[in-house]
């Protein structure tokens, strides 16, 4: 089930660095090196698998770009917000440069 633009904007106030881009929640994470970026992706993969909600993402050396949307719902849902919150928490756990 999709959530409203107002609900998304409210959630984004607690998710620094996240924005709405091309109909998805988007964030660019920049880590110290490739190992930290890949470690972050590995931890997120475990959370995503448990929740059966998987991100669209790409990795280039120390950068991880993420787009979250619920394809079967046709946009941004509560699942995307929950995964973004988990990713935010995991990124803070990793020694990360805060470049967006």
Task: Identify whether 54 is a catalytic site residue.
Answer: yes
Task: Identify whether 100 is a catalytic site residue.
Answer: no
> 3-class DSSP state for residue 11?
helix
Task: Identify whether 33 is a catalytic site residue.
Answer: no
Which of 14, 54, 56, 100 is catalytic? The answer is 54
Task: Identify whether 32 is a catalytic site residue.
Answer: no
Buried/exposed 71-98: b ≥16 CB within 10 Å, e otherwise: eeeeebbebbbebbebbbebbeeeebee
Which of 53, 56, 95, 100 is catalytic? The answer is 53
Which of 32, 33, 71, 100 is catalytic? The answer is 71
Task: Identify whether 71 is a catalytic site residue.
Answer: yes
Which of 6, 22, 72, 95 is catalytic? The answer is 72
Give the Cα separation of 4 and 26 in Å (integer).
17
Phi, psi angle pair for 96, to nearest 5°: -125, 140
Which of 19, 49, 56, 100 is catalytic? The answer is 49
Task: Identify whether 72 is a catalytic site residue.
Answer: yes
Residues with a catalytic annotation lie at 49, 53-54, 71-72, 80
């Amino acid at each position: 089930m999709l959530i409203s633009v107002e609900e998304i904007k409210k959630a984004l106030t607690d998710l620094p660095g996240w924005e709405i881009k091309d109909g998805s929640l988007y964030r660019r994470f920049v880590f110290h090196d490739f190992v930290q970026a890949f470690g972050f992706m590995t931890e997120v993969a475990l959370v995503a698998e448990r929740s059966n909600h998987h991100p669209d993402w790409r990795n280039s050396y120390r950068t991880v770009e993420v787009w979250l949307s619920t394809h079967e719902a046709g946009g941004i849902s509560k699942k995307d917000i929950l995964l973004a919150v988990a990713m935010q928490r995991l990124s803070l756990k990793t020694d990360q440069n805060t470049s967006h």
